[in-house]
């Protein structure tokens, strides 16, 4: 644990996962306070967080609102889906992984008329099919897609899809859970009406809430759409605007940590700075894994630098649970696969981890590969 303890000031295992992630000691320390939810200091903190989120999205003073929602990221996804689609609306969900399927599932649970376009998990969606669906099905009022499909690490062409959605006149919803803060996204230019992410992803806070960036004009048209009390996006926004407070108990400690995480993101050079570190982590990982004989699941041009899926080695000695445990015992936490058609495991390159941590992980992997006798 020598290196890790020195760098992060913590003896915790390093998390190479899609979240919760390894966070800085200063982010953890920011939580060591009890702050009242009606205290003016807390209200100012929430205001600053909302304004910084708009800044990261490049939409401060561009007609967007930032709305924080208690719960994990899925709660905010559900808030957007259940609040944005009108009762006579229809949602098109573009699917190439588990998170796309989850959006469709949310819509169906709320009895929202839903249509899906499903593509293989290792391929970007066929834009011509999306264009055709939007042209032929004029009942579609809302379109949803995942930015980084964390199932595999694939980056969907959110900008190109946005152009088509804009042309169709439908509202555009992007789940940018695992990309926002580390991958540049131009909400206004790409025609995004709603974007969702959460505290414990690329901004490197702790779990406890998600947030939506919503185009004000779209949000204002959603009066009466909400299908849930606690996940009512417009009411949540109204509460935050009226007196700066949450309607129901806010995750005060997680918000304190998040504010510190936002300061650290700014100090790192914002989205560009964070992207550079994550990309370096990713490149180090890929080079090291290839040297060990592992193969990536996706084609390089379809991948982002957030999380990478690797195929299981074909060697008969390979057993994922054993492989995972041996790495875990050394202080390195990787992630199981989520791909439905292939046996894979995943390694994340986000969170408070650096190239040196990637090299430490690779050294541990080298030892485990030798111990288990699974050299390719
Ligand atoms: C793209 C995407 N959507 C949704 C989620 C779900 O977020 P949560 O587990 O915070 O509810 C995740 C989590 O990794 C994700 O990566």
* Domains 2-16+270-372 and 27-266 agree in fold: no
- Give the atom of ligand 1 at the shortest distance from the alpha carbon of 149: 1
Listed by start position, the domains of the chain span 2-16+270-372, 27-266
Nearest to 341 by CA among 99, 152, 115, 104: 152
Dump pLDDT digits (tens) for 330-347. Answer: 999 999 998 888 999 999
Cα 291 to averaged position of ligand 1 atoms, centre (Å)? 31
Cα 200 to averaged position of ligand 1 atoms, centre (Å)? 10
- Give the atom of ligand 1 at the shortest distance from the alpha carbon of 207: 10
Give the pairing of strands 344-348 and 14-15: unpaired
> Which are the contacts of 321, defined by CB distance < 8 A and separation ≥ 6?
none
Give the neighbor-by-neighbor strand order of the sheet with 307-311: 307-311, 344-348, 335-336
The DSSP H or E segment spanning 163 is helix 158-168
Q: What is the pLDDT of residue 5?
A: 43
Distance, in Å, from the CA atom of 6 to the CA atom of 127, rounded to the nearest integer, reads: 48
Cα 284 to averaged position of ligand 1 atoms, centre (Å)? 25
Distance, in Å, from the CA atom of 159 to the CA atom of 147, rounded to the nearest integer, reads: 10
Q: What is the pLDDT of residue 338?
A: 86
Dump pLDDT digits (tens) for 343-374. Answer: 999 999 999 999 999 999 999 999 999 999 99
- Give the atom of ligand 1 at the shortest distance from the alpha carbon of 147: 1
Dump pLDDT digits (tens) for 150-166. Answer: 999 999 999 999 999 99
Nearest protein Cα to ligand 1, atom 2: 177
Q: What is the pLDDT of residue 14?
A: 98
Give the pairing of strands 113-118 and 171-175: unpaired
- Answer yes or no: are the C-beta atoms of 71 and 246 closer than 8 Å: no
Using CB atoms within 10 Å of the CB of residue 372, give its burial: 0 to 12 exposed, 13 to 18 middle, 19+ buried: middle
Distance, in Å, from the CA atom of 151 to the CA atom of 66, rounded to the nearest integer, reads: 26
Nearest protein Cα to ligand 1, atom 7: 73
Q: Confidence class of residue 2 from pLDDT cuts 50, 70 and 90?
A: very low
Cα 337 to averaged position of ligand 1 atoms, centre (Å)? 14
Nearest to 54 by CA among 214, 284, 276: 214
Dump pLDDT digits (tens) for 268-315. Answer: 999 999 999 999 999 999 999 999 999 999 999 999 999 999 999 999
Dump pLDDT digits (tens) for 27-67. Answer: 999 999 999 999 999 999 999 999 999 999 999 999 999 99
Give the pairing of strands 90-95 and 171-175: unpaired
> Which are the contacts of 376, defined by CB distance < 8 A and separation ≥ 6?
292, 293, 294, 313, 315
The alpha carbon torsion through 341, 76, 282, 297 (nearest 10 deg) reads 10
Residue to probe by mutation, ligand 1, list 99, 156, 309, 350, most atoms within 8 Å of CB: 99
- Helix/strand/coil for 37: coil
Distance, in Å, from the CA atom of 29 to the CA atom of 22, rounded to the nearest integer, reads: 13
The DSSP H or E segment spanning 40 is helix 40-56
Q: Return the number of other C-beta atoms located less than 10 Å from residue 48's C-beta.
A: 13
Architecture of 27-266 per CATH? 3-Layer(aba) Sandwich (3.40)
Cα 98 to averaged position of ligand 1 atoms, centre (Å)? 10
How is residue 219 written in tokens? 């949000």
Q: What is the pLDDT of residue 9?
A: 59
Residue to probe by mutation, ligand 1, list 105, 158, 178, most atoms within 8 Å of CB: 178
Cα 73 to averaged position of ligand 1 atoms, centre (Å)? 6
What residues are in contact with ligand 1 under a 6 Å CB criterion? 18-19, 72-74, 99, 146, 150, 175, 177-178, 198
Q: What is the pLDDT of residue 375?
A: 80
64-to-46, 187, 209 alpha-carbon distances in Å: 16, 9, 19
- Give the atom of ligand 1 at the shortest distance from the alpha carbon of 99: 3
Output the CATH code of domain 2-16+270-372. 3.90.1150.10
Residue to probe by mutation, ligand 1, list 148, 177, 182, 183, most atoms within 8 Å of CB: 177
Cα 67 to averaged position of ligand 1 atoms, centre (Å)? 17
Distance, in Å, from the CA atom of 207 to the CA atom of 258, rounded to the nearest integer, reads: 9
pTM as predicted:
0.97
Cα 176 to averaged position of ligand 1 atoms, centre (Å)? 9
Cα 307 to averaged position of ligand 1 atoms, centre (Å)? 13
Using CB atoms within 10 Å of the CB of residue 252, give its burial: 0 to 12 exposed, 13 to 18 middle, 19+ buried: buried
Nearest protein Cα to ligand 1, atom 14: 18
- Give the atom of ligand 1 at the shortest distance from the alpha carbon of 151: 16
- Answer yes or no: are the C-beta atoms of 339 and 309 closer than 8 Å: yes
Dump pLDDT digits (tens) for 217-271. Answer: 999 999 999 999 999 999 999 999 999 999 999 999 999 999 999 999 999 999 9
Nearest protein Cα to ligand 1, atom 12: 177
Indicate if the alpha-carbon torsion angle 268, 269, 275, 281 is positive or negative: negative
Q: What is the pLDDT of residue 204?
A: 98
Buried b (16+ CB within 10 A) or exposed e, 341-356: eeebbbbbbbbbbeee
Q: Confidence class of residue 6 from pLDDT cuts 50, 70 and 90?
A: very low
Residue 7, pLDDT > 80, answer no
Give the pairing of strands 344-348 and 335-336: antiparallel
HSE of 301, CA atoms in CB hemisphere, 13 A: 3
């Amino acid at each position: 644990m020598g290196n890790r303890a020195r760098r992060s000031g913590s003896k915790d295992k390093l998390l190479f996962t899609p979240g919760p992630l390894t966070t800085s000691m200063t982010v953890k320390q920011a939580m060591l306070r009890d702050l009242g939810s009606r205290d003016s200091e807390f209200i100012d903190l929430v205001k600053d967080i909302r304004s910084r989120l708009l800044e990261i999205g490049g939409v401060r003073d561009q007609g967007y609102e930032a709305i924080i929602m208690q719960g994990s990221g899925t709660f905010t996804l559900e808030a957007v889906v259940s609040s944005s689609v009108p009762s006579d609306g229809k949602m098109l969900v573009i699917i190439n992984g588990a998170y796309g399927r989850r959006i469709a599932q949310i819509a169906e649970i709320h009895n929202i008329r839903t249509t899906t376009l499903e593509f293989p998990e290792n391929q970007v969606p066929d834009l011509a099919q999306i264009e055709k669906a939007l042209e032929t099905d004029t009942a579609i009022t809302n379109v949803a897609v995942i930015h980084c499909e964390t199932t595999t690490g694939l980056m969907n062409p959110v900008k190109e899809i946005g152009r088509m959605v804009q042309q169709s006149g439908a509202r555009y919803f992007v789940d940018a859970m695992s990309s926002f803060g580390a991958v540049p996204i131009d909400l206004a230019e790409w025609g995004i009406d709603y974007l969702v992410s959460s505290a414990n992803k690329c901004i490197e806070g702790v779990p406890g809430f998600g947030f939506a960036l919503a185009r004000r004009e779209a949000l204002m048209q959603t009066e009466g759409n909400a299908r849930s009390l606690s996940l009512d996006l417009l009411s949540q926004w109204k509460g935050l605007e009226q007196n700066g407070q949450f309607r129901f108990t806010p995750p005060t400690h997680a918000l304190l940590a998040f504010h510190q995480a936002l300061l650290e993101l700014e100090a790192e050079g914002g989205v560009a700075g964070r992207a550079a570190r994550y990309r370096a982590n990713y490149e180090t990982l890929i080079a090291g894994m290839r040297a060990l004989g592992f193969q990536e699941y996706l084609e390089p041009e379809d991948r982002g630098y957030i999380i990478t899926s690797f195929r299981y080695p074909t060697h008969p000695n390979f057993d994922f649970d054993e492989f995972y445990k041996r790495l875990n015992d050394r202080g390195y936490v990787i992630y199981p696969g989520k791909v439905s058609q292939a046996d894979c495991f995943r390694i994340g390159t986000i969170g408070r981890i650096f190239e040196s941590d990637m090299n430490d992980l690779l050294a541990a992997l080298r030892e485990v590969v030798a111990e288990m006798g699974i050299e390719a």
